[in-house]
Chains A and B, each alone.
Chain A
Amino acid sequence: MEKNSALRSPRTLLALLVTVAIVVAALLVVLSQFGGGGGGSSEDVGEFYAGIAQDGTTLGEEDAPVTMYLYEDFQCPFCGQFDREMFPDVVDDYVRDGEVKVVSETMAFLGPDSVTAARAAFAAGEQNRYWPYHTLLFENQGEENSGYVTDDFLRGLAEDTPGLDVHKWEDERAGNSFTQELGTVQAKAQAAGVNSTPTLIVKGPGGQVKIDVLKDYGQITSAIDKVNGS
């Protein structure tokens, strides 16, 4: 009687369950390798930013009606998480079509390594390659103040940044400490009452919204809708 139905045999059923479990676990492992759906590795970074206007620390069309000021620190884990998980959606949903431009405001307050990382990014910004460098810094973020921001680390990222002239970048880094830029951000942050990162300030014709506790993407969507007057 039981021969007719393979599933009636507990051993067959168990073998089937083990197989299913292995397949499901393998699938989870494969999906996990895709990461948080971020800008991805160095090859993808060029592709991701292709066709989007970049001017120093600004990403997107100059005349975009909405501007998002992104207060961040390259060593801040939640900034890294935001950059990997939500920022690609901001770019795809709003920046590409010219609705929003994003201005990175690098606060560099977590430690000396934050300053070093910010200077390296500013130097890339001189060639309008701030954003891919920014993404690579967050993609390769290490533990806060663990000393991972070495010259070799920064140079490696520069070499991975598509379209960046590494020699010019080195010269820029050696010749300019970007003290003025860092000071300007500090003053802006103070004026806007920003005391944690990441903080987003979204400005548009309909006013401004400050997001200092970012929980989900919906907050960004509604802030943009609100300041855009829709």
Chain B
Amino acid sequence: MAPNFQAKRRFSWLRLVLLALAVLGGLISGYLTWTHFAGLTPVCTGSGEGCQTVQSSRYASLLGIPVALLGLLAYGGLIFSTALWRETGIYLGFLISLVGTLFSAYLTYLELFVIGALCQWCLASAAIMVAALICATLATLPLLRRR
């Protein structure tokens, strides 16, 4: 009985951390989506121009949909997955955070080597997505041991 109890404890911990990460990521991408539609410049530390350059670059939208909005949807999906939890929710969380991490890696590559400007909000979101993937992977592992 004891190992079972332990596994459950770890599950709920991961669930809570993942939820916190998703809410934080949702706030960031929500803010960027809002500035996009309101035509505002996101508040950016340092020179302050990096965020604007990235947000107004041709890569900031995908078929007319702002990338920030895609991020918002992804974090919304992650929150939903923590609400479902159990098997379906955990697998959904893993899928979303893996797609999110792969796409964030590509976006970070664009910022560094193509656009030549960094946006701190975008980097923060990428880091949160990686952390979410780690949580989701840790939550997925116990499921693999089952037969």
Contacts and interface: CB of A to CB of B under 8 A. Distances in A.
Nearest to A217: B64
B34 to A, nearest CB: 11
Interface stretch (B7-15, B22-30, B50-58, B78-86): B50-58
A4 B94 CA distance: 25
Contact of A36 (B58, B117, B140): B58
Nearest to A146: B49
Contacts of B143: 10
B113 interface: no
A11 B105 CA distance: 25
B62 A77 contact: no
Contacts of B58: 35-36, 38, 84, 139
Contact of A28 (B56, B60, B62, B94): B62
The size class of the interface chain B forms with chain A is: 20 to 34
A10 B146 contact: yes
A78 B146 CA distance: 53
B99 A77 contact: no
Contact of A22 (B37, B38, B56, B102): B102
Contacts of A10: 143-144, 146
Given A22-B102, A25-B99, A29-B106, A85 B39 contact: no
Given A2-B147, A20-B95, A214 B39 contact: yes
Interface string B36-54: 0111000000000100110
B56 A31 contact: no
Contacts of A78: 39, 56
B63 interface: yes
A174 interface: no
B49 A11 contact: no
Query: Which of B58, B106, B110, B117 has the most chain A CB atoms inside 10 A of its CB?
Result: B58
A159 to B, nearest CB: 21
B94 A17 contact: yes
Query: Which of A29, A32, A37, A81 has the most chain B CB atoms inside 10 A of its CB?
Result: A32
A28 B38 contact: no
A162 to B, nearest CB: 20
B98 interface: yes
B108 interface: no
B31 interface: no
B98 A213 contact: no
B105 to A, nearest CB: 9
Given A21-B99, A25-B99, A29-B103, A34 B144 contact: no
Nearest to B107: A32
Given A14-B144, A77-B52, A143-B53, A25 B59 contact: no
A32 B105 CA distance: 13
B43 to A, nearest CB: 15
Contacts of B62: 28, 31-32, 34
Contact of B56 (A2, A34, A80): A80
Contacts of A22: 102
Given A28-B106, A35-B58, A81-B60, 7 more contacts: A21-B102, A22-B102, A24-B99, A25-B102, A25-B103, A32-B110, A78-B56
Interface of A: 2, 10-11, 13-14, 17-18, 20-22, 24-25, 28-29, 31-32, 34-38, 77-78, 80-81, 84-85, 139, 143-144, 213-216
Lowest 7 A-B CB distances belong to which pairs?
Answer: A25-B102, A77-B56, A21-B98, A35-B58, A81-B56, A21-B99, A36-B61
